[in-house]
Amino acid sequence: MRLGILDFCPIRKGRPPAESLYESVELAREADALGYSRYWLAEHHELGLAHHSPETLMGLIAGSTERIRVGVAGILMGLHSPMRVAKVFKVLEAFFAGRLDLGVGAGSAEPPVLAAMRDGAPMVGDHRQDYVRRVKALLEFLRGESPLHFNPLGVAPPPVWVLASGSPETASLAASLGTCFGHSLIHPKSRDDAGLAARYVEEFRPRPDMPKPRWVVAVTGLCAETEAEARRLASLSSDDPKSGLEIVGSPAQCRERFQALCERYRTDEIIFKDFAPDAESRLRCHRLLAEALQLTNK
């Protein structure tokens, strides 16, 4: 089993947002040394989180680590130009070849933020249609299938991950486009249904650059030396979503639940978002998980 990290970059109580950015870089360095597979950053635009530009922080983290894959999970495509996203990730891939992941999601933002980021441009069709159109355009730019080309030419694109939290249509979209698939059990409306991953695998259309399906499952939770301590820390966290599938407990308990989840979804990789209340317990959480799963031996 492999384990990756999803980081929302929460702001600690009474601390400035910039401090959380440094915390993320330090955690990524530790995760790199501990044997974690990926370090993914989310895009959100609420003021309770420390940044709203994950692709910028992603480059800094990739440059501060050596081995771990770094990515965004995911870029909210409804807020961005597909060409602009393709250009950013092609430049980053030139520096960090083979280490980047580009996740795309259908989420949005508050109407004033949405209008400002789109500079007033209207959606084409409804939200779903606009999202699908933008994902397809992004892939055309990355794969060199568009009549428009841009530098750096000759740089292979990073893997694209189509992300979902319960939509069968999104699982089918990932399969039809020949991309990776990430299923989130973190969000309030997440659907814990292994049939979605099975649907993706069954419908997957291979491509030369993606001959086999690849999928992960994301969960949230907290690990400490004992279950009691983990639950005590969870009660202190303002980042606890109180929703989705939570895995809270001792290292052995977390390992057992991770293994059960992998078996149900027939995957070999979990992406974990902790809701530790402070930097110290967060670091301890990931060290305990790395030891329990023997990540450094893989």
pLDDT for 187 beyond 60: yes
List alpha helices for the chain, DSSP H. Answer: 17-34, 54-64, 82-95, 111-117, 127-142, 168-177, 194-203, 227-236, 251-265, 279-292
The Cα 149–Cα 136 span in angstroms is 16
pLDDT for 102 beyond 70: yes
Q: Is 5 exposed, middle or buried (0-12, 13-18, 19+ CB in 10 A)?
A: buried
pTM over 0.75: yes
In this prediction, residue 113 carries a pLDDT of: 80
> Cβ(161)–Cβ(103) under 8 Å?
yes
What digits encode the pLDDT tens for the residues 41-88? 999 888 888 889 999 999 999 999 999 999 999 899 999 999 999 999
Q: What is the mean pLDDT of the chain?
A: 93
In this prediction, residue 298 carries a pLDDT of: 66
In this prediction, residue 94 carries a pLDDT of: 97
pLDDT for 132 beyond 80: yes
Confidence of residue 40 (pLDDT cuts 50, 70, 90): very high
- DSSP structure string for 197-233: HHHHHHH---BTTB-S--EEEEEEEEE-SSHHHHHHH
Is 2-297 a CATH 3.40.50.800 domain? no
DSSP state of 77: G
pLDDT for 106 beyond 70: yes
* Region of poorest pLDDT, from 12-16, 182-186, 196-200: 12-16
The candidate with the shortest Cα–Cα distance to 270, out of 227, 232, 215, is 215
What digits encode the pLDDT tens for the residues 190-240? 999 999 999 999 999 999 999 999 999 999 999 999 999 999 999 998 765
In this prediction, residue 242 carries a pLDDT of: 58
pLDDT for 95 beyond 70: yes
In this prediction, residue 241 carries a pLDDT of: 58
Higher pLDDT, 63 or 122: 63
What digits encode the pLDDT tens for the residues 253-279? 999 999 999 999 999 999 999 999 999
Higher pLDDT, 127 or 143: 143
* Region of poorest pLDDT, from 119-128, 147-156, 192-201, 226-235: 119-128
